[in-house]
A and B are shown apart, each in its own frame.
Chain A
Amino acid sequence: MADELTGLLHRGLETKRQTFADEDFAGEHGRGVTGRVKRRRAVSATALGGGTVVAVGAVAVGAWQMPRAGLGFGGPGGSPSVVCTTTTPDAVAGAGVEVPRGATYVVTDIANGSAYFVGAMNGVPQLWGLDGTPYELGQNADGTGVVELLSGAIVTINQVTGDVNPADPEAVIITPADSYLLESTSSVNAVGADGTVLGHALKVADGGLVLVTDGKMYKLTSSEGGTYKYVSRPDQAVNAVTLVDTQPASGNSEDVAAPEVTCVTTTPEPNASASPSLSPVISAQPSATPDPAVSDSFGIVPSPFQCGFDLAGAQPNPAAQFRDLHWVTANAAETSVRAFFQDPDSVDFNLSGDLVPIVMYDFGVGPEIDGASGVIGPQDPQGNLAGFGTTDGVQDTMQFAVGAAYVLVEDGAVVATYVPDGGPSSQYIDSYDPDTGTLYGLNVDDAFTPCSGEDAASLGDTDLYAVSGWITEDVTGVHGPLYGWSKIEPQG
């Protein structure tokens, strides 16, 4: 009888329960479980929204995929080296930018500075990156478009007028697209305390000022002595700048566009003060810190890829900071990975987990360089130091080593690192079994190796960070490594 079996199960369960009654499950596993929940919620909050919400960052996949043939993993579609197109001559947003047809506004996510063109064409809401790349955008039932910015801020776009309606006006900056172009190619530079040009300053719709740098915008507020200040994310550092009109008397536009900064800096330095920190240092000169270019040893520079690195006591370098960081569904990742393989049917995809990570950032490419080669992967770029500094300044095309990965951080320090098994597309893949042709998607639980050597379950209340770094070499010498990092903020 069903009742009889049900009764047996309940009685058996009660008996069994008593055997567990003295266990301190919460004490033994509570910290680990809570930490895992936080990490997963952070992941979900980054990319999941309503059914029609599209995570803006999803389109950035292509840029990170672009150099993947040079990851050195030997995938079927790979080639031995990478030739990268350079970034625009001026890394400052605006130069060389054309407003996409149909774009009405630039929406900037105040939380992280990421900015996008939005608008409408033929009754369809539109979304573009600042480089003009069109992104697929979801629509509500009423036809309006919805964008969930990286911070979680929601913006709707009228499909006819292109008007923008932010759910929280305090969370975004709305700038008319035309004035964005006009102003950002104007001549007002924002100059840091050390004289470095950080970017352009421009007026926005509400009459305020923003700093445009590296494709991001930061709100400028008046400070003492005619200077301005802004808060850089995610470290919340307060930075002071001075606005300088550099309108050239000759009207030669090249004078305006020519960057004064080659985005070279020293290693991450402890930053105990709130002094200006967004300061890519022009450094053909040796810096005060050990210069990896002249070092014979590997790993002399502390980096966020390493166990124990104190993120709280250092400052991410904006030149190595992420332009975008987001997560895609396992299906989207699989689609992309399949495109990588010449014979995708030969691979058994097993991209477990709801989401897999994608990161994207711009690394320093000098304005005179039109090509570059190097390696990109989830490793610390310091691992390639030995290959740098050997050309005695005759390097006529840039070479680079770029790394981007994830770490877990507790009390400001790295407590677990991401050590992928490799594979043809490690930006997605935790491991690849060539014998069975199976790919395993990154799982935020088991993809990390605790620094303590203990099991991953021993990790407690940690924060999930994305870390990045790069080294370049050109005619002026070796630059870097530079490191950046971003916390994936828990929500919910």
Chain B
Amino acid sequence: MAHWEPILDEVMRERAPRLLAYAAMVTGNDAEAHDVLQEALVRSFSKRRAFTHVNAAEAYVRRAIPTVYLDSLRKRKNRERNHSRAFERDETQPPDVDAQVDVQRALATLSPRERACIALRYYDDCTVAQVAQQLGLAEGTVKRYLADATAKLAATLGTARGDIAEADTVPVLPAGKAGNSHG
């Protein structure tokens, strides 16, 4: 058995629920979470990368999930003739019926890219620059997604806007709209 197989096996046996939950958060869909996790596992272990511990492997796979998800959307968009409809369908996909948790419902209101940015920024604690690099987006674009997303989440969850006005961000929403977020 190759050296990577025991680690992969352990990740799938022991860490799958947490990774699936993360994938569901990013995709907003349980079924898609399974597909995305499989692809993220394949992608993470296919390179000549030597994971020495299951924790490192899990972290790597988790970080791959948003990228895999967005890549799958791009492919879907390319392959489907009616691009706009396909994309629209995905963005408006309702949350899974089992996902009654508020945060899940709130995340489901976000676009795929917004969800990916939120997950990396606020769950994985990545900087904006790291999110941009991970997703292959410009930093400015990431900031815009984060700003839009946190505004939506604030409206749904009643949280603050995620305090996105950090040192490395710029306000991109009208001041009035941002000011309503506490409301």
* A residues neighboring B (CB under 8 Å): 1-6, 8-21, 23, 25-26, 29-30, 32-34, 36-38, 40-41, 44-45, 48, 350, 352, 435-436, 438, 440, 445, 457, 490, 492
Report how far A29 CA is from B79 CA in the complex, Å.
25
> Are B21 and A30 interface neighbours, CB within 8 A?
no
Residue B8 contacts which of A20, A37, A436, A457 (CB distance < 8 angstroms)?
A37
Q: Could you say which residues of chain A place their CB within 8 Å of the CB of B54?
A: none
Q: Could you say which residues of chain B place their CB within 8 Å of the CB of A45?
A: 48
> Are B42 and A9 interface neighbours, CB within 8 A?
no
Q: Could you say which residues of chain A place their CB within 8 Å of the CB of B166?
A: 2
Would you give 20 A-B contacts (Cβ < 8 Å), ordered by A?
A5-B150, A5-B153, A8-B157, A9-B25, A9-B122, A9-B123, A13-B22, A15-B101, A17-B17, A23-B16, A23-B20, A25-B12, A29-B34, A33-B8, A34-B8, A37-B4, A37-B8, A41-B46, A44-B46, A457-B38
> Are B160 and A1 interface neighbours, CB within 8 A?
yes
> Are A10 and B12 interface neighbours, CB within 8 A?
no
Q: Which size bracket describes the interface of B in this complex?
A: 35 or more
Report how far A16 CA is from B37 CA in the complex, Å.
15
Shortest CB-to-CB span from B91 to chain A, Å, is 20
A41: nearest chain-B partner, CB-CB: B46
What DSSP secondary structure best describes chain A's contact surface? Answer: helix
> Are B101 and A16 interface neighbours, CB within 8 A?
yes
B88 CB–A CB distance under 8 Å: no
B134 CB–A CB distance under 8 Å: no
> Are B38 and A4 interface neighbours, CB within 8 A?
no
> Are B8 and A9 interface neighbours, CB within 8 A?
no
B2 CB–A CB distance under 8 Å: yes
Shortest CB-to-CB span from A27 to chain B, Å, is 9
Closest 6 CB pairs of A and B: A12-B103, A25-B16, A40-B46, A16-B21, A26-B12, A20-B17
> Are A37 and B41 interface neighbours, CB within 8 A?
yes
> Are A350 and B78 interface neighbours, CB within 8 A?
yes
> Are B123 and A34 interface neighbours, CB within 8 A?
no
> Are B78 and A37 interface neighbours, CB within 8 A?
no
B154: nearest chain-A partner, CB-CB: A5
> Are A16 and B25 interface neighbours, CB within 8 A?
yes
Report how far A6 CA is from B163 CA in the complex, Å.
11
Question: 1/0 per position for B141-155, CB-CB distance to A under 8 A?
Answer: 000000000100100
Question: 1/0 per position for B90-108, CB-CB distance to A under 8 A?
Answer: 0000000011011110010
B13 CB–A CB distance under 8 Å: yes
B117 CB–A CB distance under 8 Å: no
B37: nearest chain-A partner, CB-CB: A25
Q: Could you say which residues of chain A place their CB within 8 Å of the CB of B41?
A: 33, 37
Q: Could you say which residues of chain B place their CB within 8 Å of the CB of A40?
A: 42, 46
> Are A30 and B12 interface neighbours, CB within 8 A?
yes
Q: Could you say which residues of chain A place their CB within 8 Å of the CB of B163?
A: 1-3
Residue B81 contacts which of A4, A33, A435, A457 (CB distance < 8 angstroms)?
A435
> Are A5 and B4 interface neighbours, CB within 8 A?
no
Chain B 1-34 interface residues, beta-carbon cutoff 8 Å to A: 2, 4-5, 8-9, 12-13, 16-18, 20-22, 24-25, 34
> Are B99 and A16 interface neighbours, CB within 8 A?
yes
Q: Could you say which residues of chain A place their CB within 8 Å of the CB of B81?
A: 435-436
Report how far A44 CA is from B42 CA in the complex, Å.
13
Report how far A16 CA is from B29 CA in the complex, Å.
12
Report how far A29 CA is from B23 CA in the complex, Å.
15
Q: Could you say which residues of chain A place their CB within 8 Å of the CB of B17?
A: 17-18, 20-21, 23, 25
> Are B48 and A44 interface neighbours, CB within 8 A?
yes
A17: nearest chain-B partner, CB-CB: B21
Q: Could you say which residues of chain B place their CB within 8 Å of the CB of A18?
A: 17
Residue B13 contacts which of A20, A26, A44 (CB distance < 8 angstroms)?
A26
> Are A492 and B162 interface neighbours, CB within 8 A?
no
B89 CB–A CB distance under 8 Å: no
A457: nearest chain-B partner, CB-CB: B38
Shortest CB-to-CB span from B124 to chain A, Å, is 10
Q: Could you say which residues of chain B place their CB within 8 Å of the CB of A36?
A: 38, 42, 46
> Are B4 and A2 interface neighbours, CB within 8 A?
no
Given contacts A13-B18, A16-B20, A18-B17, could you give 19 more A-B pairs where the C-beta distance is less than 8 Å?
A2-B164, A5-B162, A6-B122, A13-B123, A16-B99, A21-B17, A23-B16, A26-B13, A29-B38, A30-B13, A34-B8, A36-B46, A37-B41, A44-B48, A436-B81, A438-B78, A445-B42, A457-B38, A492-B2
